[in-house]
Structure 1
Amino acid sequence: MQARIRTAFIGLAMTVLAAVGVPAAFAPPAHATQTFTDIAYAPAQPAGSKGHLLDLYLPATGITPRPLLIWHTGSAWSSDNGKAGADAIAAIFNPLGFAVAGVSVRSSSQAIFPAQVHDIKSAIRWLRANAGTYQLDPNRFAIMGDSSGGWLTEMATLSAGVPALEGTLGTTGVSSAVQTGVAFFSPTNFLQMNSQNLPTGGLDHDSPASPESLLVGCPIQTCPAAVAQANPMTYVDSNDPPLMFLHGQADFLVPHGQSVLLYNRIKAQCGDATFISVPGADHMVPQVMDPAHFGSQTVSTTTDCTETVGTGTINPTWANFATFLRGGLKMGTSCEVTYATEVWPGAFNGTATIRNTGTTPIYGWTLTWTWAGNQQVTNSWNSTVTQTGTQVTARDDGTNTYIGPGSSQGLGFTANVTGTNAIPAQFKLNNIPCTRVP
């Protein structure tokens, strides 16, 4: 296996933004990233093709091991270079502490379904098997993509443990499951796409030359059993990870009704889904995320057979996608820290109580802070504390990993100090800033 390695400042070049539909207005500051390109997660098929390559973008800061976001750019299954554009996604999520992997899979001209799902699952297995090398958290894998990349996202998220979709490519014997996903305007039930087209028209999805027919290897209306196997809805059950999906109501290429079908299926199975339906938006990420639509989108959420429907309750922004992913990965979405000290000459005991103020549980936590003075931790309890310079990292001790919504965990330490002993300016829990309670 050969991989090219470089260290660079990743920015949102306009050409890349256009490729993945990321508006420049959403661009964060440039961020130092270590990048590994063209990693072969399985042998090329056919020889010389790019469908079994991935790129990996690692943030230079933040806690380790890192959560991983897998990205695949859609192409109507016509390209074997779906990893292209992942650098723009990394520019958004690396500063938030996420590693990002851009993954390519084979095109429909190189192999028909289920090859594409075999490929993404092979890539996930490779990433999990090599998590230690790249300091990835094997228990916190998320996936995201648009169009056929959204379909791949939904298939990977909903079909964990389905033997027929695993394949034997590359690394085996490792889980291919992901813990959450975000999909943009994905096709689902190919057989209903023509009937759901806009009144003004759309693609002829029933044509033998349609992207869907080329994917499954037959005109879709002539092979319904094969088409059913390529339908994410086939694999929905109540144990699936949380899935967010977004669709424009004016989508000319993939009918909006495709996501309606998926949402209704997940709701019927008492699954966990958030569906953002955007009026006036076509088949482009910038249109689905256009601030002009904020407040008018319909947001439907179903969890444990309980549904809520609102208008404008979640705006489709990268920040809100990150919050959703953090909740699905059980990292926490908001927190409070209460800090107290007991001081004596030259030393002190410190305690920090972490409260989960979000709505999702936290499994596994790391609390970080920076000293303003020369404090040096010498001992700890209810956590494992390490210190490098003024940077302190406190991790759960293995017996107190869970913090439910509204619940708390505490930790303590002894430290030496001379001079100032100011309260740390900020605490971060799993890389998100916490509110400090006096």
Structure 2
Amino acid sequence: MQARIRTAMIVGMAMTMLAAVGVSAAFSPPAHATQVITDIAYAPPQPAGSRGHLLDLYLPSTGITPRPLLIWHTGSAWTSDDGKAGTDAIADIFNPLGFAVAGVSVRSSAQAIFPAQVHDIKAAIRWLRANAATYQLDPNRFAIMGDSSGGWLTEMATLSGGVTALEGAVGTTGVSSAVQVGLAFYSPTDFLQMNAQNLPTGGLDHDSPASPESLLVGCPIQTCPATVAQANPMTYVDSNDPPLMFLHGQADFLVPHGQSVLLYNRIKAQCGDATFVSVPGADHMMSQVMDPAQYGMQTVRTTTDCGETVSTGTLNPTWANFATFLRGGLKMGTSCEVAYSTGAWNGAFNGSVTIKNTGTTPISGWTVTWTWPGNQQITNAWNATVTQTGAQVTARDAGHNSYIGPGSSQSFGFSATATGTNDIPAQFKLNNIVCTRVPA
């Protein structure tokens, strides 16, 4: 038994180190002020003294509130109960974009076998949603992301929303554990096919009783196919699932590339919404999957509404593109235009703002922000709730006009006072993304 655990621990440590190196090497963000709250217990520890029911919260100092939330879990071949380790690197990327980030730990396979890990991530999501108001999180805009076994956890959480058998009774109950979008790196899916999909040069013996997959489900995987099927994200795929992006290197030694091929084909067959980025020459680490040397060579397969597009090099694996995908899945918008006009009289003026969704995904709920260049002061508004603090203005939809489809627009207006010059604001943002200004 000690040898079995040692084998899995070595694999898990390697996966964790590779993932951590990949994150830090792929992006060097600017410094920013962030509130960090560590070791929040989303459920009592099981067993006592373990770290599998803790999460860390990274709250941005900029951006609109309530904030969209990105949940992160670092892979370890299920051998670690500290999956929130390394979240600071993810927060460094997404906090400046206005995302709150939660690093979530779940129990290791040595502490509890499947489905405990899924019960845990769902418990963490429920806790975060139940406490959304406290941390100014948007309960309707939860995204999840992870690598390796963290990618598996991401896919399980994204695809099994509403599956009662996987909810469990850990921690907070009676709150939705659904997420609105997922992004996974090199995840295992169908454990039973992993050995057959290994590279010609070799790979792990996933059928071994000491393999990470066998230790997760508590039995040699080929002897308990029913249990393994329950741990397969493909089991839960249907046409109502949130959008999912997943990436996999074609030279992955630890988790065969074919695992993501299987998942994509299943989602396509069910008329789901998925983007699969297949990167040639990349092994099991983010630094290789996101290597700029591979840009323009990756195969991108996208399926939605029972249709499919296949292209080469159309979506480079960059943090900027990942953020755009997440924003689209959260219905925040990915690009926009603003037309601004005024009508002035003595000491006061009326303003009109038209926002157009120039992206390909709908916007559900919007906030427009800008900064006055002078001493303008809002006195009244219509078709939006407008507030002003100093020179900062925030305009939120009025409810009846919260939806903006692709290519569509919504408008609102206001009255304001001004003395001296009344210049146009230099920049408008829609849901924290900078809009192009066009003539009114």
**Bucket of the pairwise TM-score, normalised by the shorter protein:** over 0.9
Q: Render the CA deviation track for 1:74-117: whole Å, top value 9, x for unaligned.
A: 00000000000001000000000000000000000000000000
Q: Render the CA deviation track for 1:248-299: whole Å, top value 9, x for unaligned.
A: 0000000000000000000000000000000000000000000000000000
Report matched runs for 1:11-410 at 5 Å. 19=20, 21-24=22-25, 26-410=27-411
TM-score (norm 1): 0.96
Is this contact kept in 1: 2:69–2:138, CA < 8 A? Answer: yes
Is this contact kept in 1: 2:25–2:287, CA < 8 A? Answer: no
Q: Render the CA deviation track for 1:178-229: whole Å, top value 9, x for unaligned.
A: 0001000000000000000000000000000000000000000000000000
Q: Provide the C-alpha distance between the structure 2 equivalents of 1:357 and 1:221, rounded to a whole number of angstroms.
A: 50
By how many angstroms is 1:48 displaced? 0.2
Q: Provide the C-alpha distance between the structure 2 equivalents of 1:20 and 1:324, rounded to a whole number of angstroms.
A: 23
Is this contact kept in 1: 2:19–2:74, CA < 8 A? Answer: no
By how many angstroms is 1:23 displaced? 4.0
Is this contact kept in 2: 1:77–1:215, CA < 8 A? Answer: yes
Q: Provide the C-alpha distance between the structure 1 equivalents of 2:32 and 2:317, rounded to a whole number of angstroms.
A: 23
**Unaligned stretches of 5+ residues in structure 2:** 1-15
By how many angstroms is 1:28 displaced? 1.3
Letter in structure 2 aligned against 1:358: G
1:392 aligned counterpart, secondary structure? strand
Q: Provide the C-alpha distance between the structure 1 equivalents of 2:22 and 2:279, rounded to a whole number of angstroms.
A: 16
1:134 aligned counterpart, secondary structure? coil
Q: Provide the C-alpha distance between the structure 1 equivalents of 2:33 and 2:267, rounded to a whole number of angstroms.
A: 39
Q: Provide the C-alpha distance between the structure 2 equivalents of 1:294 and 1:364, rounded to a whole number of angstroms.
A: 34
TM-score (norm 2): 0.95
1:22 aligned counterpart, secondary structure? helix
Partner of 1:420: 421
By how many angstroms is 1:27 displaced? 1.3
Is this contact kept in 2: 1:190–1:231, CA < 8 A? Answer: yes
By how many angstroms is 1:25 displaced? 5.1
2:120 aligned counterpart, secondary structure? helix
By how many angstroms is 1:24 displaced? 3.6
Letter in structure 1 aligned against 2:231: A
Q: Render the CA deviation track for 1:290-339: whole Å, top value 9, x for unaligned.
A: 00000000000000001000000000000000000000000000000000
Is this contact kept in 2: 1:17–1:24, CA < 8 A? Answer: no
Which structure has the higher relative contact order (CA within 8 Å, separation 6+)?
Answer: 2
2:23 aligned counterpart, secondary structure? coil
Letter in structure 1 aligned against 2:185: F
Aligned alpha-carbon RMSD (Å): 1.1
Q: How many residues align?
A: 424
Letter in structure 1 aligned against 2:44: P
Q: Provide the C-alpha distance between the structure 1 equivalents of 2:164 and 2:399, rounded to a whole number of angstroms.
A: 32
Q: Provide the C-alpha distance between the structure 1 equivalents of 2:153 and 2:17, rounded to a whole number of angstroms.
A: 21
By how many angstroms is 1:19 displaced? 2.2
Identity %: 86
Letter in structure 2 aligned against 1:310: S
**Cα gap change, 1:388/1:324 in structure 2, threshold over 3 Å: closer, same or farther?**
same
Q: Provide the C-alpha distance between the structure 1 equivalents of 2:336 and 2:31, rounded to a whole number of angstroms.
A: 27
**Unaligned stretches of 5+ residues in structure 1:** 1-14
Q: Provide the C-alpha distance between the structure 2 equivalents of 1:77 and 1:17, rounded to a whole number of angstroms.
A: 15
2:129 aligned counterpart, secondary structure? helix
